[in-house]
Structure 1
Amino acid sequence: MDNTHKSEELSSVLLSTMLRMQHFPDNVGLATDLLLHLESGMVESRDEYIVVRTVDAPEYFFGNMLVLRQRPSPSDLKRLEHNFAQLVGTPPLIAHRTFAWPESDDSVVTLDDFVEQGYEATVYRVLVAHPGDIRPVATNPFVKVRPFAAQQEWDDWSRMQLADMPDPSDITSQRYIRHQQMVYRRLIERGLGNWWGAFLDDEQVGSLGLFFLDGIGRFQSVTTAARHRNRNVCRTLVTEVIRLTAGRSDRLVMVADEAYHAGAIYQAMGFQLQGRLASLCQEPQKVTARS
Protein backbone atom coordinates (compact mmCIF):
# COMPACT_ATOMS: atom_id res chain seq x y z
CA MET A 1 0.00 0.00 0.00
CA ASP A 2 1.46 3.38 -0.99
CA ASN A 3 1.60 6.37 1.37
CA THR A 4 -1.37 8.13 -0.25
CA HIS A 5 -3.69 5.15 0.20
CA LYS A 6 -2.41 4.59 3.72
CA SER A 7 -3.07 8.22 4.67
CA GLU A 8 -6.56 8.15 3.16
CA GLU A 9 -7.36 4.94 5.05
CA LEU A 10 -6.15 6.48 8.32
CA SER A 11 -8.22 9.59 7.63
CA SER A 12 -11.34 7.51 7.09
CA VAL A 13 -10.73 5.53 10.26
CA LEU A 14 -10.25 8.71 12.30
CA LEU A 15 -13.42 10.32 10.99
CA SER A 16 -15.50 7.22 11.60
CA THR A 17 -14.05 6.75 15.06
CA MET A 18 -14.61 10.30 16.26
CA LEU A 19 -18.17 10.43 14.94
CA ARG A 20 -18.96 7.17 16.76
CA MET A 21 -17.59 8.35 20.10
CA GLN A 22 -20.50 8.79 22.49
CA HIS A 23 -19.06 11.92 24.06
CA PHE A 24 -18.34 13.62 20.71
CA PRO A 25 -21.33 14.89 18.70
CA ASP A 26 -21.46 14.71 14.94
CA ASN A 27 -19.71 17.95 14.03
CA VAL A 28 -18.43 17.87 10.46
CA GLY A 29 -16.50 21.11 10.95
CA LEU A 30 -14.43 19.61 13.71
CA ALA A 31 -14.16 16.28 11.86
CA THR A 32 -12.70 17.90 8.75
CA ASP A 33 -10.38 20.07 10.86
CA LEU A 34 -8.94 16.89 12.36
CA LEU A 35 -8.64 15.22 8.97
CA LEU A 36 -6.62 18.17 7.71
CA HIS A 37 -4.46 18.09 10.84
CA LEU A 38 -3.89 14.39 10.30
CA GLU A 39 -2.51 15.14 6.85
CA SER A 40 0.07 17.59 8.19
CA GLY A 41 0.75 16.57 11.78
CA MET A 42 -0.26 14.18 14.55
CA VAL A 43 -3.77 13.52 15.86
CA GLU A 44 -4.39 11.06 18.66
CA SER A 45 -7.15 10.25 21.13
CA ARG A 46 -5.99 10.47 24.74
CA ASP A 47 -8.56 9.79 27.43
CA GLU A 48 -10.82 12.86 27.51
CA TYR A 49 -9.00 14.78 24.74
CA ILE A 50 -8.03 14.62 21.13
CA VAL A 51 -4.44 15.86 20.98
CA VAL A 52 -3.30 17.74 17.89
CA ARG A 53 0.40 18.40 17.36
CA THR A 54 2.37 19.84 14.47
CA VAL A 55 5.96 19.14 15.45
CA ASP A 56 7.59 21.17 12.68
CA ALA A 57 5.41 24.25 13.35
CA PRO A 58 5.31 24.86 17.12
CA GLU A 59 4.00 28.41 16.57
CA TYR A 60 0.89 27.10 14.79
CA PHE A 61 -1.63 27.83 17.53
CA PHE A 62 -4.45 25.67 16.14
CA GLY A 63 -2.08 22.94 14.98
CA ASN A 64 -0.93 22.34 18.55
CA MET A 65 -4.03 22.11 20.73
CA LEU A 66 -6.32 20.01 22.88
CA VAL A 67 -9.79 19.23 21.52
CA LEU A 68 -12.27 18.83 24.37
CA ARG A 69 -15.49 16.83 24.52
CA GLN A 70 -17.51 19.87 25.53
CA ARG A 71 -17.28 23.46 26.71
CA PRO A 72 -15.04 23.77 29.80
CA SER A 73 -16.01 25.60 32.97
CA PRO A 74 -13.72 28.20 34.57
CA SER A 75 -12.94 25.75 37.37
CA ASP A 76 -11.42 23.42 34.76
CA LEU A 77 -8.78 25.91 33.64
CA LYS A 78 -5.89 24.94 35.91
CA ARG A 79 -6.33 21.25 35.07
CA LEU A 80 -6.61 22.00 31.34
CA GLU A 81 -3.45 24.08 31.34
CA HIS A 82 -1.59 21.34 33.21
CA ASN A 83 -2.76 18.71 30.74
CA PHE A 84 -1.91 20.94 27.80
CA ALA A 85 1.65 21.20 29.10
CA GLN A 86 1.86 17.42 29.49
CA LEU A 87 0.27 16.45 26.18
CA VAL A 88 1.12 19.30 23.79
CA GLY A 89 4.12 21.14 25.22
CA THR A 90 5.53 24.03 27.18
CA PRO A 91 7.63 27.14 26.55
CA PRO A 92 9.93 27.93 24.95
CA LEU A 93 8.93 25.47 22.18
CA ILE A 94 5.15 25.61 22.66
CA ALA A 95 4.55 29.14 23.88
CA HIS A 96 0.75 29.26 23.59
CA ARG A 97 -2.29 27.33 24.80
CA THR A 98 -5.25 26.41 22.58
CA PHE A 99 -8.42 24.48 23.36
CA ALA A 100 -11.34 23.76 21.02
CA TRP A 101 -14.65 21.92 21.34
CA PRO A 102 -18.01 21.44 19.56
CA GLU A 103 -21.07 23.55 20.30
CA SER A 104 -24.69 23.10 19.24
CA ASP A 105 -26.46 25.53 16.88
CA ASP A 106 -28.47 27.24 19.61
CA SER A 107 -26.25 27.17 22.70
CA VAL A 108 -25.44 30.38 24.54
CA VAL A 109 -21.64 30.53 24.79
CA THR A 110 -20.26 32.65 27.63
CA LEU A 111 -16.48 32.65 27.96
CA ASP A 112 -15.83 35.94 29.75
CA ASP A 113 -14.07 34.24 32.67
CA PHE A 114 -11.48 32.81 30.28
CA VAL A 115 -11.04 36.13 28.52
CA GLU A 116 -10.22 37.67 31.88
CA GLN A 117 -7.42 35.10 32.20
CA GLY A 118 -5.84 36.26 28.93
CA TYR A 119 -7.55 33.96 26.44
CA GLU A 120 -9.06 34.99 23.12
CA ALA A 121 -12.46 33.32 22.71
CA THR A 122 -13.97 32.60 19.28
CA VAL A 123 -17.18 30.89 18.19
CA TYR A 124 -17.50 29.58 14.63
CA ARG A 125 -20.46 28.54 12.51
CA VAL A 126 -20.21 25.14 10.82
CA LEU A 127 -21.98 25.60 7.48
CA VAL A 128 -22.82 22.71 5.15
CA ALA A 129 -24.28 22.56 1.64
CA HIS A 130 -24.81 20.09 -1.17
CA PRO A 131 -23.45 21.54 -4.43
CA GLY A 132 -26.95 21.50 -5.91
CA ASP A 133 -28.23 23.66 -3.04
CA ILE A 134 -26.05 26.64 -3.97
CA ARG A 135 -28.25 29.55 -4.99
CA PRO A 136 -27.37 32.20 -7.60
CA VAL A 137 -25.94 35.33 -6.01
CA ALA A 138 -24.53 38.58 -7.30
CA THR A 139 -21.05 38.01 -8.72
CA ASN A 140 -18.40 40.16 -10.33
CA PRO A 141 -18.04 39.40 -14.07
CA PHE A 142 -14.56 40.92 -14.16
CA VAL A 143 -13.16 38.47 -11.59
CA LYS A 144 -11.44 35.45 -13.11
CA VAL A 145 -11.04 32.32 -10.99
CA ARG A 146 -8.33 29.73 -11.56
CA PRO A 147 -6.13 27.38 -9.52
CA PHE A 148 -2.66 28.57 -8.55
CA ALA A 149 -0.07 27.55 -11.14
CA ALA A 150 3.03 29.68 -10.41
CA GLN A 151 5.25 30.59 -7.48
CA GLN A 152 4.34 34.26 -7.88
CA GLU A 153 0.73 33.43 -7.05
CA TRP A 154 1.84 31.74 -3.82
CA ASP A 155 4.09 34.70 -3.00
CA ASP A 156 1.15 37.06 -3.46
CA TRP A 157 -0.99 34.75 -1.31
CA SER A 158 1.61 34.89 1.47
CA ARG A 159 1.67 38.69 1.41
CA MET A 160 -2.13 38.82 1.53
CA GLN A 161 -2.27 36.42 4.48
CA LEU A 162 0.40 38.33 6.39
CA ALA A 163 -1.38 41.63 5.72
CA ASP A 164 -4.31 40.38 7.82
CA MET A 165 -2.04 39.65 10.80
CA PRO A 166 -1.24 42.14 13.57
CA ASP A 167 2.47 42.29 12.66
CA PRO A 168 3.32 41.05 9.14
CA SER A 169 7.05 41.48 9.85
CA ASP A 170 6.96 39.14 12.85
CA ILE A 171 9.23 36.16 12.17
CA THR A 172 6.83 33.79 13.93
CA SER A 173 3.97 34.82 11.64
CA GLN A 174 6.20 34.44 8.60
CA ARG A 175 7.27 30.93 9.65
CA TYR A 176 3.61 29.99 10.18
CA ILE A 177 2.64 31.19 6.68
CA ARG A 178 5.58 29.32 5.10
CA HIS A 179 4.47 26.17 6.89
CA GLN A 180 0.86 26.56 5.77
CA GLN A 181 1.95 27.07 2.17
CA MET A 182 4.07 23.92 2.33
CA VAL A 183 1.17 21.89 3.75
CA TYR A 184 -1.34 23.12 1.18
CA ARG A 185 1.04 22.48 -1.71
CA ARG A 186 1.68 18.98 -0.43
CA LEU A 187 -2.07 18.30 -0.34
CA ILE A 188 -2.38 19.63 -3.90
CA GLU A 189 0.48 17.43 -5.12
CA ARG A 190 -1.36 14.41 -3.72
CA GLY A 191 -4.49 15.29 -5.67
CA LEU A 192 -6.61 16.18 -2.62
CA GLY A 193 -7.67 19.60 -3.87
CA ASN A 194 -6.42 22.97 -5.06
CA TRP A 195 -5.78 26.53 -4.00
CA TRP A 196 -7.81 28.93 -6.11
CA GLY A 197 -7.19 32.58 -6.85
CA ALA A 198 -9.55 35.39 -7.83
CA PHE A 199 -7.89 37.78 -10.28
CA LEU A 200 -8.73 41.25 -11.58
CA ASP A 201 -6.51 42.19 -14.53
CA ASP A 202 -4.01 39.51 -13.39
CA GLU A 203 -3.86 40.96 -9.86
CA GLN A 204 -4.69 38.43 -7.17
CA VAL A 205 -7.55 39.94 -5.16
CA GLY A 206 -8.72 36.86 -3.24
CA SER A 207 -8.15 33.17 -2.76
CA LEU A 208 -9.39 30.03 -1.04
CA GLY A 209 -8.49 26.39 -0.64
CA LEU A 210 -10.86 23.48 -1.23
CA PHE A 211 -9.73 20.00 -0.20
CA PHE A 212 -11.58 16.71 -0.45
CA LEU A 213 -11.21 14.39 2.52
CA ASP A 214 -13.23 11.23 3.04
CA GLY A 215 -15.81 12.39 0.52
CA ILE A 216 -16.27 15.85 2.05
CA GLY A 217 -15.18 19.12 0.43
CA ARG A 218 -13.70 21.44 3.05
CA PHE A 219 -13.02 25.10 2.30
CA GLN A 220 -9.97 26.77 3.80
CA SER A 221 -9.11 30.42 4.43
CA VAL A 222 -11.44 32.34 2.13
CA THR A 223 -9.68 35.70 1.80
CA THR A 224 -10.30 38.95 -0.08
CA ALA A 225 -7.67 41.69 -0.29
CA ALA A 226 -8.69 44.64 1.90
CA ARG A 227 -8.94 47.19 -0.92
CA HIS A 228 -11.12 44.87 -3.04
CA ARG A 229 -13.76 44.06 -0.45
CA ASN A 230 -17.44 44.82 -1.09
CA ARG A 231 -16.97 44.05 -4.80
CA ASN A 232 -18.48 40.52 -4.76
CA VAL A 233 -15.04 38.91 -4.98
CA CYS A 234 -15.84 36.35 -2.26
CA ARG A 235 -19.20 35.39 -3.78
CA THR A 236 -17.64 35.03 -7.22
CA LEU A 237 -14.73 32.96 -5.93
CA VAL A 238 -16.85 30.52 -3.93
CA THR A 239 -19.48 30.18 -6.66
CA GLU A 240 -16.94 29.49 -9.39
CA VAL A 241 -14.88 27.03 -7.35
CA ILE A 242 -18.02 25.03 -6.54
CA ARG A 243 -18.91 25.00 -10.23
CA LEU A 244 -15.42 24.01 -11.34
CA THR A 245 -15.16 21.14 -8.83
CA ALA A 246 -18.65 19.73 -9.45
CA GLY A 247 -18.78 15.97 -8.97
CA ARG A 248 -15.93 15.67 -6.47
CA SER A 249 -18.15 15.72 -3.39
CA ASP A 250 -21.82 15.82 -2.42
CA ARG A 251 -21.11 17.75 0.80
CA LEU A 252 -19.29 21.06 1.17
CA VAL A 253 -18.21 22.52 4.51
CA MET A 254 -17.36 26.07 5.58
CA VAL A 255 -16.27 27.09 9.08
CA ALA A 256 -16.72 30.83 9.66
CA ASP A 257 -16.16 33.09 12.66
CA GLU A 258 -19.67 34.09 13.67
CA ALA A 259 -18.49 37.54 14.75
CA TYR A 260 -17.88 38.43 11.10
CA HIS A 261 -20.23 38.87 8.17
CA ALA A 262 -18.80 36.10 5.96
CA GLY A 263 -21.01 33.42 7.50
CA ALA A 264 -24.12 35.34 6.48
CA ILE A 265 -22.81 35.52 2.90
CA TYR A 266 -22.36 31.75 2.77
CA GLN A 267 -25.81 31.15 4.24
CA ALA A 268 -27.32 33.43 1.60
CA MET A 269 -25.61 31.22 -0.99
CA GLY A 270 -27.33 28.10 0.36
CA PHE A 271 -25.07 26.84 3.15
CA GLN A 272 -26.98 25.79 6.26
CA LEU A 273 -25.95 25.89 9.90
CA GLN A 274 -25.09 22.43 11.23
CA GLY A 275 -23.46 23.08 14.58
CA ARG A 276 -20.73 25.36 15.83
CA LEU A 277 -17.19 25.25 17.15
CA ALA A 278 -15.63 27.29 19.91
CA SER A 279 -12.03 27.86 20.92
CA LEU A 280 -9.84 29.50 23.51
CA CYS A 281 -6.34 30.61 22.57
CA GLN A 282 -3.80 32.22 24.87
CA GLU A 283 -1.02 33.73 22.79
CA PRO A 284 2.65 33.39 23.85
CA GLN A 285 3.10 36.74 25.57
CA LYS A 286 0.10 36.00 27.79
CA VAL A 287 1.04 32.46 28.87
CA THR A 288 1.76 32.36 32.57
CA ALA A 289 3.33 29.77 34.83
CA ARG A 290 -0.03 28.49 36.12
CA SER A 291 0.54 25.04 34.61
Structure 2
Amino acid sequence: MHLQSLGYRTDLIFARFQGIVEDLGDVVRVTNPDNPTHYFGNFLIFDSPSKPGDLPEWEARFAELIGTPPTVRHTLFGWDVPPRGEAHVQPFLDAGYVLEENVIMSAAALHAPARPNREAELRVIENTDEAWAAVVDQQVAGREAHLNESEASYRTFKEGQFRRYRAMAKAGLGFWYGAFVDDVLAADLGVFTDGTLARFQSVGTHPDYRRQGLCGTLTHFAGTHAQQALGAGELVIVADDHYFAKDIYASVGLCPRERQQLLLRHPREA
Protein backbone atom coordinates (compact mmCIF):
# COMPACT_ATOMS: atom_id res chain seq x y z
CA MET A 1 0.00 0.00 0.00
CA HIS A 2 1.11 3.57 -0.57
CA LEU A 3 1.33 5.33 2.78
CA GLN A 4 -0.09 8.84 2.69
CA SER A 5 0.75 9.80 6.26
CA LEU A 6 3.68 12.17 6.66
CA GLY A 7 4.03 10.86 10.20
CA TYR A 8 4.44 7.21 9.26
CA ARG A 9 6.47 7.91 6.13
CA THR A 10 9.03 9.75 8.25
CA ASP A 11 8.82 7.17 11.06
CA LEU A 12 10.05 4.66 8.50
CA ILE A 13 13.26 6.65 7.91
CA PHE A 14 14.42 5.26 11.25
CA ALA A 15 12.77 1.86 11.00
CA ARG A 16 14.49 1.13 7.69
CA PHE A 17 17.91 2.12 9.04
CA GLN A 18 17.85 -0.34 11.91
CA GLY A 19 15.18 -2.83 10.95
CA ILE A 20 12.92 -4.24 8.25
CA VAL A 21 9.90 -2.59 6.62
CA GLU A 22 7.64 -4.79 4.48
CA ASP A 23 4.51 -3.80 2.54
CA LEU A 24 2.08 -6.71 2.76
CA GLY A 25 -0.76 -5.05 0.86
CA ASP A 26 -3.27 -4.16 3.57
CA VAL A 27 -0.63 -3.63 6.26
CA VAL A 28 2.96 -2.47 6.61
CA ARG A 29 5.06 -4.66 8.90
CA VAL A 30 7.89 -3.00 10.82
CA THR A 31 10.30 -5.29 12.67
CA ASN A 32 13.65 -4.96 14.39
CA PRO A 33 14.94 -8.47 15.20
CA ASP A 34 17.85 -6.99 17.14
CA ASN A 35 15.57 -5.01 19.46
CA PRO A 36 12.14 -6.64 19.93
CA THR A 37 11.37 -4.35 22.90
CA HIS A 38 11.42 -1.19 20.74
CA TYR A 39 7.79 -0.19 20.24
CA PHE A 40 8.24 1.78 16.99
CA GLY A 41 10.68 -0.82 15.72
CA ASN A 42 8.03 -3.55 15.97
CA PHE A 43 4.50 -2.57 14.99
CA LEU A 44 1.83 -2.75 12.28
CA ILE A 45 0.39 0.06 10.16
CA PHE A 46 -2.98 -0.87 8.66
CA ASP A 47 -4.44 0.76 5.56
CA SER A 48 -7.61 1.84 7.40
CA PRO A 49 -8.71 2.39 11.00
CA SER A 50 -10.10 -0.34 13.19
CA LYS A 51 -13.70 -1.44 12.71
CA PRO A 52 -16.05 -3.30 15.06
CA GLY A 53 -14.77 -6.84 15.49
CA ASP A 54 -11.19 -6.09 14.44
CA LEU A 55 -9.56 -6.63 17.85
CA PRO A 56 -9.04 -10.43 17.65
CA GLU A 57 -8.01 -10.28 13.99
CA TRP A 58 -5.50 -7.46 14.55
CA GLU A 59 -4.01 -9.24 17.57
CA ALA A 60 -3.71 -12.43 15.56
CA ARG A 61 -1.95 -10.56 12.76
CA PHE A 62 0.44 -8.98 15.26
CA ALA A 63 1.26 -12.36 16.79
CA GLU A 64 1.88 -13.83 13.34
CA LEU A 65 3.80 -10.93 11.79
CA ILE A 66 5.60 -9.31 14.74
CA GLY A 67 5.77 -11.84 17.57
CA THR A 68 4.54 -12.84 20.99
CA PRO A 69 5.90 -12.95 24.54
CA PRO A 70 8.48 -13.55 25.82
CA THR A 71 10.27 -12.07 22.77
CA VAL A 72 7.79 -9.29 21.94
CA ARG A 73 5.81 -8.16 24.98
CA HIS A 74 4.04 -5.06 23.67
CA THR A 75 1.38 -4.65 20.97
CA LEU A 76 1.23 -1.53 18.79
CA PHE A 77 -1.12 -0.69 15.92
CA GLY A 78 -1.35 2.36 13.69
CA TRP A 79 -3.35 3.15 10.57
CA ASP A 80 -2.74 5.38 7.59
CA VAL A 81 -4.17 8.89 7.43
CA PRO A 82 -6.24 10.58 6.28
CA PRO A 83 -8.41 7.69 7.53
CA ARG A 84 -11.51 6.51 5.80
CA GLY A 85 -13.86 6.96 8.73
CA GLU A 86 -13.34 7.05 12.48
CA ALA A 87 -11.48 4.30 14.30
CA HIS A 88 -13.54 1.98 16.50
CA VAL A 89 -11.24 1.90 19.52
CA GLN A 90 -13.42 1.09 22.55
CA PRO A 91 -12.87 -2.70 22.42
CA PHE A 92 -9.11 -2.07 22.40
CA LEU A 93 -9.38 0.33 25.34
CA ASP A 94 -11.46 -2.24 27.24
CA ALA A 95 -8.70 -4.78 26.57
CA GLY A 96 -6.03 -2.57 28.13
CA TYR A 97 -4.77 -0.57 25.17
CA VAL A 98 -3.92 3.12 25.37
CA LEU A 99 -4.96 5.50 22.59
CA GLU A 100 -2.09 7.81 21.66
CA GLU A 101 -2.94 10.92 19.65
CA ASN A 102 -0.39 13.05 17.83
CA VAL A 103 -0.54 16.01 15.52
CA ILE A 104 1.75 15.88 12.48
CA MET A 105 3.10 19.30 11.58
CA SER A 106 5.15 20.31 8.55
CA ALA A 107 6.54 23.26 6.63
CA ALA A 108 8.42 23.91 3.40
CA ALA A 109 10.63 26.37 5.30
CA LEU A 110 10.85 27.83 8.80
CA HIS A 111 11.04 31.35 10.14
CA ALA A 112 12.60 32.60 13.38
CA PRO A 113 10.35 32.72 16.46
CA ALA A 114 9.01 36.08 17.58
CA ARG A 115 11.32 36.06 20.61
CA PRO A 116 14.46 34.13 19.65
CA ASN A 117 17.13 33.35 22.21
CA ARG A 118 20.18 35.35 21.12
CA GLU A 119 22.47 34.26 23.95
CA ALA A 120 22.84 30.56 23.18
CA GLU A 121 25.41 29.13 20.78
CA LEU A 122 23.73 26.86 18.23
CA ARG A 123 25.75 24.16 16.52
CA VAL A 124 25.93 20.59 15.24
CA ILE A 125 26.95 18.07 17.89
CA GLU A 126 30.52 16.86 17.34
CA ASN A 127 31.07 13.18 16.65
CA THR A 128 32.88 12.39 19.90
CA ASP A 129 31.97 10.04 22.73
CA GLU A 130 31.94 12.95 25.16
CA ALA A 131 29.59 15.07 23.03
CA TRP A 132 27.08 12.27 22.50
CA ALA A 133 27.22 11.29 26.18
CA ALA A 134 26.32 14.87 27.07
CA VAL A 135 23.30 14.64 24.76
CA VAL A 136 22.11 11.47 26.50
CA ASP A 137 22.59 13.15 29.89
CA GLN A 138 20.55 16.14 28.72
CA GLN A 139 17.77 13.93 27.37
CA VAL A 140 17.57 11.99 30.63
CA ALA A 141 17.53 15.22 32.65
CA GLY A 142 14.62 16.45 30.54
CA ARG A 143 12.58 13.28 31.06
CA GLU A 144 8.93 14.19 31.51
CA ALA A 145 7.50 13.59 34.98
CA HIS A 146 4.51 11.61 33.65
CA LEU A 147 6.71 8.77 32.40
CA ASN A 148 6.30 5.73 34.62
CA GLU A 149 9.68 4.11 34.02
CA SER A 150 12.64 4.67 36.28
CA GLU A 151 15.48 6.99 35.40
CA ALA A 152 17.79 3.98 35.04
CA SER A 153 15.54 2.21 32.51
CA TYR A 154 14.95 5.48 30.68
CA ARG A 155 18.71 6.02 30.41
CA THR A 156 19.15 2.53 29.00
CA PHE A 157 16.47 3.30 26.40
CA LYS A 158 18.09 6.63 25.51
CA GLU A 159 21.56 5.12 25.20
CA GLY A 160 20.25 2.60 22.67
CA GLN A 161 18.27 5.24 20.81
CA PHE A 162 21.26 7.53 20.51
CA ARG A 163 23.55 4.79 19.26
CA ARG A 164 21.18 4.67 16.30
CA TYR A 165 21.05 8.45 15.87
CA ARG A 166 24.84 8.67 15.99
CA ALA A 167 25.14 5.91 13.38
CA MET A 168 22.61 7.66 11.16
CA ALA A 169 24.49 10.95 11.45
CA LYS A 170 27.74 9.15 10.59
CA ALA A 171 26.01 7.67 7.53
CA GLY A 172 25.13 11.16 6.31
CA LEU A 173 21.39 10.91 6.93
CA GLY A 174 21.15 13.83 9.32
CA PHE A 175 22.55 15.84 12.20
CA TRP A 176 22.15 16.27 15.92
CA TYR A 177 22.02 19.85 17.12
CA GLY A 178 22.63 21.57 20.43
CA ALA A 179 21.96 24.93 22.03
CA PHE A 180 24.76 25.79 24.47
CA VAL A 181 24.54 28.34 27.26
CA ASP A 182 27.93 29.14 28.82
CA ASP A 183 29.26 25.95 27.18
CA VAL A 184 26.54 23.84 28.83
CA LEU A 185 24.22 21.82 26.59
CA ALA A 186 20.82 23.28 27.39
CA ALA A 187 18.66 21.95 24.54
CA ASP A 188 19.06 19.49 21.68
CA LEU A 189 17.26 17.80 18.80
CA GLY A 190 17.93 15.85 15.62
CA VAL A 191 16.89 16.15 11.98
CA PHE A 192 17.15 13.22 9.56
CA THR A 193 16.05 12.75 5.97
CA ASP A 194 15.15 10.19 3.34
CA GLY A 195 16.20 12.66 0.64
CA THR A 196 12.75 14.19 0.30
CA LEU A 197 11.23 14.58 3.76
CA ALA A 198 13.14 15.67 6.86
CA ARG A 199 12.00 14.61 10.32
CA PHE A 200 12.75 16.21 13.68
CA GLN A 201 13.54 13.87 16.56
CA SER A 202 13.64 13.95 20.37
CA VAL A 203 13.38 17.68 20.98
CA GLY A 204 14.49 18.28 24.56
CA THR A 205 15.34 21.18 26.86
CA HIS A 206 16.98 20.88 30.28
CA PRO A 207 14.55 21.87 33.08
CA ASP A 208 16.93 24.63 34.21
CA TYR A 209 16.79 26.33 30.79
CA ARG A 210 13.11 26.17 29.88
CA ARG A 211 10.98 29.20 28.99
CA GLN A 212 13.99 30.97 27.50
CA GLY A 213 13.09 30.51 23.83
CA LEU A 214 15.68 27.79 23.25
CA CYS A 215 13.36 25.19 21.75
CA GLY A 216 11.90 27.41 19.03
CA THR A 217 15.25 29.03 18.30
CA LEU A 218 17.01 25.66 17.94
CA THR A 219 14.17 24.20 15.86
CA HIS A 220 14.45 27.08 13.39
CA PHE A 221 18.26 26.83 13.22
CA ALA A 222 18.31 23.05 12.82
CA GLY A 223 15.55 22.87 10.22
CA THR A 224 17.14 25.57 8.09
CA HIS A 225 20.62 24.03 8.37
CA ALA A 226 19.34 20.54 7.56
CA GLN A 227 17.55 21.70 4.43
CA GLN A 228 20.67 23.50 3.22
CA ALA A 229 23.12 20.74 4.11
CA LEU A 230 21.03 17.70 3.18
CA GLY A 231 18.92 19.07 0.34
CA ALA A 232 15.75 17.93 2.09
CA GLY A 233 12.39 19.36 1.21
CA GLU A 234 9.43 19.35 3.60
CA LEU A 235 10.21 19.46 7.32
CA VAL A 236 8.05 17.21 9.52
CA ILE A 237 7.61 16.99 13.29
CA VAL A 238 5.30 14.84 15.42
CA ALA A 239 3.85 16.44 18.55
CA ASP A 240 1.61 15.15 21.30
CA ASP A 241 -1.82 16.56 20.48
CA HIS A 242 -2.37 17.32 24.18
CA TYR A 243 0.96 19.00 24.96
CA PHE A 244 2.06 22.64 24.66
CA ALA A 245 5.14 21.88 22.52
CA LYS A 246 3.04 22.04 19.37
CA ASP A 247 2.57 25.76 19.99
CA ILE A 248 6.35 26.24 20.04
CA TYR A 249 6.66 24.44 16.70
CA ALA A 250 3.86 26.57 15.26
CA SER A 251 5.82 29.68 16.29
CA VAL A 252 8.51 28.87 13.69
CA GLY A 253 6.11 28.03 10.87
CA LEU A 254 5.26 24.36 11.31
CA CYS A 255 1.55 23.84 10.59
CA PRO A 256 -0.79 20.94 11.51
CA ARG A 257 -1.28 18.60 8.55
CA GLU A 258 -2.80 15.43 9.95
CA ARG A 259 -3.84 13.69 13.14
CA GLN A 260 -2.20 10.40 13.99
CA GLN A 261 -3.69 7.79 16.32
CA LEU A 262 -2.09 4.63 17.63
CA LEU A 263 -3.23 1.85 19.93
CA LEU A 264 -0.56 0.60 22.34
CA ARG A 265 -0.68 -2.14 24.92
CA HIS A 266 2.33 -1.96 27.18
CA PRO A 267 4.07 -5.13 28.32
CA ARG A 268 1.85 -7.01 30.73
CA GLU A 269 4.36 -6.90 33.58
CA ALA A 270 4.55 -3.07 33.25
TM-score category (smaller protein): 0.7 to 0.9
- The answer as to whether partners of 2:49 and 2:86 remain within 8 angstroms in 1 is no
Q: Which residue of 2 aligns with 1:5?
A: none
Matched, 1:178 2:159: yes
Give the letter for the 2:131 counterpart: E
Corresponding residue of 1:82: 60
1:58 aligned partner: 36
1:70 equivalent in alignment to 2:45: no
Confirm or deny that 1:250 pairs with 2:233: yes
> Contact (CA 8 Å) 1:208, 1:220: kept in 2 or not?
yes
Structure holding more helix per residue: 1
CA distance in 2, matches of 1:144, 1:119: 43
C-alpha change, 1:238 and 1:127, in structure 2 (3 Å) is same
Equivalence for 2:120: 143
Cα distance, 1:154–1:169 mapped onto 2, change above 3 Å: same
Alignment of 1:1-291 (within 5 A): 18=1, 21=2, 24=3, 26-73=4-51, 75-104=53-82, 111-131=89-109, 133-149=110-126, 150-163=128-141, 164=143, 165-171=147-153, 173-247=154-228, 248-285=231-268
Structure 2's unaligned 5+ residue stretches are none
For the aligned residue pairs, the C-alpha RMSD in angstroms reads 2.4
Residue identity matched to 1:268: S
Alpha-carbon distance in 2 for matches of 1:227, 1:96: 34
Cα pair distance change 1:166/1:251, threshold 3 Å: same
Cα distance in 2 between the residues matched to 1:75 and 1:56: 33
Residue 169 of structure 1 and its aligned partner are, at CA, apart by 4.1
Structure 2 distance, partners of 1:101, 1:178, is 29
Identity level (%) = 29
Residue 30 of structure 1 and its aligned partner are, at CA, apart by 1.2
Please say which of residues 94-103 and 236-245 is displaced more in the overlay.
236-245
CA shift at 1:236, angstroms? 1.2
Cα 1:91/1:161, change in 2 over 3 Å: farther
Give the TM-score, by structure 1 length. 0.82
Counterpart of 1:167 in structure 2: which amino acid? E
Any conservation in 1 of the 2:124–2:176 contact (CA below 8 Å)? yes
- Normalised by the length of structure 2, the TM-score is 0.88
Contact 1:212 1:218 in 2 (8 A): yes
AA partner of residue 223 (structure 1): G
Partner of 1:8: none
User: How far apart are 1:135 and its partner, in Å?
Assistant: 5.0
CA 1:93–1:161 in structure 2 vs 1: closer, same or farther (change >3 Å)? Answer: farther
Counterpart code for 1:158: V
Taking structure 1 as reference, are residues 55 and 148 closer, same or farther at Cα in structure 2, changes over 3 Å only? same
The number of residues matched between the two structures is 263
Q: CA deviation at 1:167?
A: 2.7
From the superposition, tell whether residues 226 and 110 of structure 1 become closer, same or farther in structure 2 (CA, over 3 Å): farther
